Structure 1
Amino acid sequence: MELVPRNPTDGVYPATDDYVHAMEVRGAERMLFVSGTMGLDPAGKPGSSLDEQLDLIWSNIRVILASADMTVDNIVRLTSYLRDPAYAEANAAARVAALGDRRVPTTAIVATTLDSDWLVEIEVIAAS
């Protein structure tokens, strides 16, 4: 599989350093669509803080990816659902920490979650 970042600079606003406008996926044999993943521990209890929930989210995403023999390196698209716009900076920092120097197309949306204790949900698309 080959990933080709598509990040035009003419005719469109510039992407910031932590994402790209688009990712072309060539030669993928498998796609994995991960539903909105919350910051819940294995018993289903939400983390007590935003940082704890973000840690749990990324741990949960890693476990889900591993079940398909994938890692965060296979993520090609990410959408974050934030309960409050004030969570954007911490969410971006957690994403950058999880993905390292890999930049993928990403969107953050402010939304009311189904449970008020769920501060962030993240869904991903992965390919291999």
Structure 2
Amino acid sequence: MRTIAHSPTVGVYPATSDYVHAMEVREPQRLLFISGTMGLDEKGVAGQTLEEQLELIWSNLRTILASAGMTVDNIVRLTSYLRDPAYADANAAARVRALGARRVPTTAIVVQTLVPEWLVELEVIAAA
């Protein structure tokens, strides 16, 4: 599998340093669609702070990816659902920490979560 980032610089607004407009995935063998993943521990208890929930989310995503023989390097698309727009910077920082220099198409949406304690939820598509 090969991925090619596409962020044209003419005719569309510029991409920021932490995402790309599009990711082309060539010849993937497998696709993994991960449901919205919350910042819950193994007992289903939400982290007490936004930072704790973001740590749990990325830990949960790593575990789910590993169950399919993948890592965060296989992520090709990410959607964040934020309970409050004030969470955007912390969410972006957690994504950058998790993905390192890799940039993927990402969208953040402000929503009302089903449970008030759920501050952030991430939905991921991975390819291998």
Q: Calculate the TM-score normalised by the size of structure 2.
A: 1.00
Deviations 1:87-125 (A, max 9, x none): 000000000000000000000000000000000000000
How many residue pairs get aligned? The number is: 128
Q: CA deviation at 1:18?
A: 0.2
SS at match of 1:98: helix
Q: CA deviation at 1:41?
A: 0.1
Corresponding position of 2:114: 114
Corresponding position of 2:17: 17
Corresponding position of 2:92: 92
Matches within 5 A, 1:1-128: 1-128=1-128
The alignment yields a C-alpha RMSD, in angstroms, of 0.2
SS at match of 1:121: strand
Distance 1:123 1:68 in 2: 16
Distance 1:5 1:31 in 2: 18
AA in 1 matched with 2:89? E
Distance 1:11 1:35 in 2: 33
Distance 1:59 1:24 in 2: 26
How much identity, in percent, do the aligned residues show?
73
Deviations 1:21-61 (A, max 9, x none): 00000010100000000000000000000000000000000
Runs of 4+ in structure 1 deviating by more than 6 angstroms, as ranges, are none
Q: Which runs of 5+ in 2 are unaligned?
A: none
SS at match of 2:4: strand
Q: Calculate the TM-score normalised by the size of structure 1.
A: 1.00
SS at match of 1:117: coil
Distance 1:60 1:82 in 2: 17
